[in-house]
Amino acid sequence: MLTTLEQLEREIEQFHKNVASSNKLIHLMETLADAVSSQTESINKKSESLEAVIAHVTNTMRSDYEIMLRQFSTEQKNYVDAIADIEENINNKYKEFLSKLENLEVEQLLEICRETQTTLVKIHMKKQDALISQIETMNMELKEINRNIDKKTSWSFAGIGAIIILLIIFYFIK
């Protein structure tokens, strides 16, 4: 009878450990979800800030540059929408995970946690790559704008110089 009682006590102790591990895992998953949400919010704020800068640049350039910047703004909005869709998908998967959590063993929970973490890292890397790509595209477009402005400025100075030379010649001819 002692062995059965001792065995029962060990099983109860193991059960308490499993419950504690499950609670820790739930807390870790909630922390991870909060971090993803916070990061998405940060990206949204940065996107809004970037759109404000784009609006300022658009107002200072000629109308043919406005078309190009509006296209970038549309792509940026699509990117934000895609991020929102990804976040919604992650939240749905997280809810689904929590519903299945009760039926899983600790080792299974740890494996799922590893897989989720890997997936989130991949999603984060894709978001970063897309944002970097868009920033590089915008940088190239702005460089092209600057080159066009430099050309027009050079031609303007050349025209002004020619006018000054002609004025000097006419001044001496009189």
Domain coordinates of the chain in residue numbers?
A: 2-173
pLDDT at 80: 75
Mean pLDDT of 121-145: 84
Closest CA to 46 of 108, 130, 114, 112: 130
Question: What share of the chain has pLDDT > 90, as a percent?
Answer: 0
pLDDT of residue 64: 55
pLDDT tops 70 at residue 174 = no
CA within 13 Å, CB half, 46: 14
61: DSSP letter: S
Q: How do residues 140-160 score in pLDDT, each as one tens digit?
A: 888 888 888 888 888 887 888
Average pLDDT in the 18-41 region?
A: 83
Q: For residue 88, what pLDDT is reported?
A: 85
Spatial separation of the C-alpha atoms in residues 169 and 160, rounded to whole Å? 14
* Residue length of the chain: 174
Query: For residues 112 and 97, is the Cβ–Cβ distance under 8 A?
Result: yes
> What is the average pLDDT score of the chain?
78
Report pLDDT digits (tens) over 54-111.
Answer: 656 555 555 555 566 677 778 788 777 877 887 888 888 878 877 776 666 767 767 8
Nearest to 40 by CA among 77, 76, 72, 80: 80
Q: What is the pTM of this model?
A: 0.32
Q: What is the pLDDT of residue 152?
A: 82
User: What pLDDT does residue 82 have?
Assistant: 77
